[in-house]
Amino acid sequence: MSAYFNEMYDTGAVRPPYARLRDWMDAMPTELRNLKQAEAEALFRRIGITFAVYGEGGDPDRLIPFDMFPRVFAHDEWRRLERGIKQRARALNAFLSDVYDRGEIVRAGRIPERLVYLNEAYEKAVAGIRPPKGVYSHIVGIDLVRTGPDQFYVLEDNCRTPSGVSYMLENREIMMRMFPELFRSNRIEPVEGYPELLRRTLASVAPEKCKGDPTVVILTPGHFNSAYYEHSFLADLMGVELVEGQDLFVEGEFVFMRTTQGPQRVDVIYRRIDDTFLDPLCFRPDSMLGIAGLMDVYRSGGVTIASAPGAGVADDKAIYCFVPEMVRFYLGEEPILENVPTWQCARHDDLKYVLSNLPELVVKEVHGSGGYGMLVGPKSSKEQIEAFRAKILEEPEKYIAQPTLALSTVPTFVEEGVAPRHVDLRPYCLVGERIELVPGGLTRVALTEGSLVVNSSQGGGVKDTWVLAE
Amino acid sequence: MRLLVDHVTRYHYDQPVRGVVQSHRLTPSRFAGQKVQSWEVTVSGGQRGGGFRDGAGDWVQAWSVTGPVSEITVRVRGCVDTMDLSGLLRRHREAIPPTAWLHPTAPTRTDAALVDLAHSASGNGPLALAHALSDAVADAIAYRPGTTHAHTTAAEALAQGEGVCQDHTHALIACARVRDMPARYVSGYLYATDDGTPHEASHAWAEVWVADLGWVGFDPANRCCPDDRYIRLGSGADARQAAPIRGIARGNGEERLDVTVAIEAAQQ
């Protein structure tokens, strides 16, 4: 295991951010730990937070394992990450503004034209339409992994509707309830301001036609959706209405919500449904989830949709390779966060390399998610590798490959006591009039020994994520 | 040519509906080939919604009607001066780059027969190739009203060898894409001089992106490029996306549609 960076122990010594956790850990006998673990589970069940993270599918009623051992960032570590995340969120939004306008980055030859304009997620229906404040992706979830004290890599960007933030909030809430003493002995930056910050961010991008206090709603596909819990949880904490398509209708230049007091105009819709279902008049005519005429209201400036339709073109796995280029092109800065080196099987030379190095690589589907349809070379049998080789050869353009990263580990409670397990991190960056980031995020942990796959559908759990105050 | 348009669309619902939302592409395009003298769209009982110029350069106008309502009439009346530009769409502003129009939609998806048809055409240079593709489509699909329906795909129309202007246009878009030429669906009006039959007045044709020339219109159904008999309203990737009127009614009423289009040339 020494090949992996352990975030708590560096060459045997305890790293400063974890100093106080060591005593806490040592003072916890097995019986107490089991008791606490059972208590945590009961709390989660009572809250009802059982949905799968990131729309990974799987059993929606299954509880995602919560590990009580927190993941800790020192103040300085976090400040650097924060700068990198905000920089990336700015660049992604600049890219979206550009490709739906003049496409300067394409004209300059910095990103291939077809990759952008023939992308499944490029939406002709919003070309030439500028959303309020020019923001397309209002909640940017950036998945990060760490490989050393100062080495962080971005695994992927999520510009549409990244989920999982309710875990960030619940994990903290539960830790504070169960271990109040930890929050006295450590100065931990709060994350509970997130819902209010999200509400303010959304209100700040209300359309110009909106005079006065904007009405914000969350649009959900309904209770059968695996993330419905998160939708209602956020609506509750933000103090806004949770609506389904049938609760809204278009009249004249605006969108209205049916209420017991009569129709109420809606100014900002935080939608948790995909573009294609938003409006049967503009997109899929068979959509029962959307609102007929919504896109015309949006495009004529009567309502804001967050994230903006078409935002997905920025978080495609093939576009991902060009994000560092976006940072340089739009911001004139060097990227603070690095990309994982990526081979695109659509390119002949890359494909050749990938096929001859499969046992060392991680291969993913360009449009896949949730750890499905991927190959982790070092963890796969010869047969699995050969089967995957055939799949790649069939449709090379559907795959990208990356080196197997030495994901950092954090101590985690396991059957035998405490042991290092691999983790990743998803912080949630909010983009409105200003760019904001709460100090924290969602840490996912691969609970199986040696596993590098943190997805909840593949045996992953979650941890509270701390950022220490200065 | 000065063309006078009177286009009436009547929607009847057998049970009153709670409301109707429509999205119109019913305003003549702004380009060098046509100049609007007067133009008016009315919707009975309708409330005008937002309007905007979309990425393809079309004026899109939203309307809503609050029910209960069992009949709606959309009437378009206007006068447009047109010029013959041999199909060229000159001085037309749009934000969507031509490459984006290479993306297929369901009715323009290719099959082996469409690919073969596309490769059967040859021409010296992209303009000649586009003409050849348009001719190939006209040869392969005979004009025969009533043989296809609104959801017929290009592949289906080619397989049965007959169809109407919508099918010709879908087939030409599909074939152009096979030859790596962006293409799109255009809806508009046609003043039919000789045997002015009503079904032709509301017309559709294709535009193909020709390097150095820009967008050029091709009308396989009439084996020509649009000239001063044509009024261009708007474009899209297929018939549905380019439709002059798209609408959805809230309610269970069954919809029945009556359309009359009269295009006349004004005496000058």
Q: Largest Cα–Cα distance in chain B?
A: 59
Total domains present in chain B: 2
**Which residues fall within 8 angstroms of residue A26, CB to CB, at 6 or more apart?**
none
* B94–A128 CB contact, under 8 Å: yes
Residues B185 and B209 in one domain: yes
* B62–A100 CB contact, under 8 Å: no
Q: Is A28 part of any domain?
A: yes
d(CA A126, CA B95) in angstroms, rounded, equals 10
Residues A351 and A310 in one domain: no
pLDDT above 70: percentage of residues in chain A = 95
pLDDT given for residue A417 in this prediction = 86
Which of A106, A118, A293 has its CB closest to that of B23? A293
pLDDT given for residue A415 in this prediction = 85
* B66–A251 CB contact, under 8 Å: yes
Residue indicated by tokens 């509970």: A192
Burial of B165 (0-12, 13-18, 19+ CB in 10 A): buried
| Residue numbers in A near B107 (CB within 8 A) | none
Residues A399 and A413 in one domain: no
Does B198 score more than 50 pLDDT? no
Residues B190 and B76 in one domain: no
Residues B122 and B167 in one domain: yes
Under the banding of pLDDT at 50, 70 and 90, the label for residue A29 is confident
Residues A181 and A130 in one domain: yes
Arithmetic mean of pLDDT, A245-250:
96
Closest residue in chain B to residue A298, using alpha carbons only: B50
| Residue numbers in B near A251 (CB within 8 A) | 19, 47, 49, 64, 66
pLDDT tens digits along B200-255: 689 999 999 999 999 999 999 999 999 999 999 999 999 999 999 999 999 887 89
Residues A50 and A150 in one domain: yes
Residues B77 and B88 in one domain: no
Burial of B14 (0-12, 13-18, 19+ CB in 10 A): exposed
pLDDT tens digits along B22-47: 999 999 999 999 999 999 999 999 99
Arithmetic mean of pLDDT, A182-197:
96
Cα-based distances in Å from B80 to A190, B6, B77, B94, B228: 65, 12, 10, 21, 10
Arithmetic mean of pLDDT, A148-159:
94
| Residue numbers in A near B247 (CB within 8 A) | 281
Arithmetic mean of pLDDT, B126-150:
95
Domain that holds residue B215: 84-232
pLDDT given for residue A171 in this prediction = 94
Residues B17 and B66 in one domain: yes
Arithmetic mean of pLDDT, A53-73:
73
Residues A256 and A380 in one domain: no
* B47–A124 CB contact, under 8 Å: no
Arithmetic mean of pLDDT, A330-344:
95
Q: Is B238 part of any domain?
A: no
CA-nearest of A28, A143, A158 to A92 is: A158
Residues B109 and B218 in one domain: yes
* A285–B240 CB contact, under 8 Å: yes
Residues B189 and B206 in one domain: yes
Residues A390 and A285 in one domain: no
pLDDT tens digits along B100-129: 999 999 999 999 999 999 999 999 999 999
Does A46 score more than 80 pLDDT? no
* A293–B53 CB contact, under 8 Å: no
What distance in Å separates residue B47's CA from the closest CA in chain A? Answer: 6
| Residue numbers in B near A281 (CB within 8 A) | 21, 23, 246-248
Mutate to test the interface with B, among A120, A122, A124, A250 (most CBs of B within 10 A): A124
| Residue numbers in A near B250 (CB within 8 A) | 249, 292
The CATH number assigned to the domain holding B213 equals: 3.10.620.30
Closest residue in chain B to residue A125, using alpha carbons only: B55
Arithmetic mean of pLDDT, A224-251:
94
Residues A229 and A255 in one domain: yes
What distance in Å separates residue B248's CA from the closest CA in chain A? Answer: 7
Mutate to test the interface with A, among B21, B25, B99 (most CBs of A within 10 A): B21
Contact by Cβ (8 Å): A462, A426? no
Contact by Cβ (8 Å): B49, B247? no
Residues A388 and A291 in one domain: no
* B50–A300 CB contact, under 8 Å: yes
Residues B74 and B88 in one domain: no
Does A458 score more than 70 pLDDT? yes
Which of A117, A125, A300 has its CB closest to that of B97? A117
Give the end of a domain, one of A403, A422, A442: A403
- Average per-residue pLDDT for chain B: 94
Q: In what order do the strands lie in the sheet with B214-218?
A: B214-218, B202-210, B183-190, B230-236
Does B78 score more than 60 pLDDT? yes
Contact by Cβ (8 Å): A252, A207? no
pLDDT given for residue A300 in this prediction = 97
What distance in Å separates residue A431's CA from the closest CA in chain B? Answer: 25
Under the banding of pLDDT at 50, 70 and 90, the label for residue A1 is very low
Residues A353 and A240 in one domain: no
Q: Is the ipTM of this complex over 0.85?
A: yes
Question: How big is the A-B interface in CB pairs under 8 Å?
Answer: 103
Total domains present in chain A: 2
Show which residues on chain B lie within 8 Å of chain A, measured between beta carbons: 19, 21-23, 47-56, 60, 62, 64, 66, 94-97, 99-100, 102-103, 237, 240, 246-248, 250
Q: Is A3 part of any domain?
A: no
* B64–A302 CB contact, under 8 Å: no
Q: Is A1 part of any domain?
A: no
Mutate to test the interface with A, among B248, B250, B255 (most CBs of A within 10 A): B248
pLDDT given for residue B194 in this prediction = 63
Q: Is A289 part of any domain?
A: yes
pLDDT tens digits along A273-328: 999 999 999 998 888 889 999 999 999 999 999 999 999 999 988 899 999 999 99
| Residue numbers in A near B97 (CB within 8 A) | 103, 106, 113, 117
What distance in Å separates residue A299's CA from the closest CA in chain B? Answer: 7
Residues B200 and B251 in one domain: no
Closest residue in chain B to residue A128, using alpha carbons only: B55
Closest residue in chain A to residue B61, using alpha carbons only: A296
Contact by Cβ (8 Å): A323, A157? yes
**Helix B126-140 / helix B165-178 crossing angle, nearest 10 deg:** 140
DSSP structural state of residue B98: G
* B95–A128 CB contact, under 8 Å: yes
d(CA A315, CA A141) in angstroms, rounded, equals 10
CA-nearest of A143, A132, A135 to A94 is: A135
pLDDT given for residue A63 in this prediction = 73
Residues A266 and A393 in one domain: no
Arithmetic mean of pLDDT, A13-27:
92
Which of A128, A252, A297 has its CB closest to that of B54? A128
Give the end of a domain, one of A368, A403, A438: A403
Under the banding of pLDDT at 50, 70 and 90, the label for residue B195 is low
Structure-block tokens of residue B175: 């074939």
The CATH number assigned to the domain holding B250 equals: 2.60.40.2250
Residue type present at position B267: Q
Residue A23 CB neighbours (<10 A): 10
- Average per-residue pLDDT for chain A: 92
Residues A253 and A384 in one domain: no
Residues B98 and B198 in one domain: yes
pLDDT tens digits along A108-141: 999 999 999 999 999 999 999 999 999 999 999 9
Structure-block tokens of residue B11: 């929607």
pLDDT tens digits along A162-179: 989 999 999 999 999 999
| Residue numbers in B near A248 (CB within 8 A) | none
Domain that holds residue A440: 9-334+406-467
Contact by Cβ (8 Å): A269, A219? yes
The CATH number assigned to the domain holding A362 equals: 3.30.1490.270
Does B196 score more than 60 pLDDT? no
Residues B108 and B219 in one domain: yes
Give the end of a domain, one of A386, A403, A420: A403
Does A362 score more than 60 pLDDT? yes
Q: Is B240 part of any domain?
A: no
Which of B49, B55, B237 has its CB closest to that of A127? B55
Q: Which residue has the higher pLDDT, A23 or A100?
A: A100
pLDDT given for residue A234 in this prediction = 96
Q: Is B237 part of any domain?
A: no
Q: Is A361 part of any domain?
A: yes
| Residue numbers in B near A297 (CB within 8 A) | 49-50, 62
Residues B203 and B256 in one domain: no
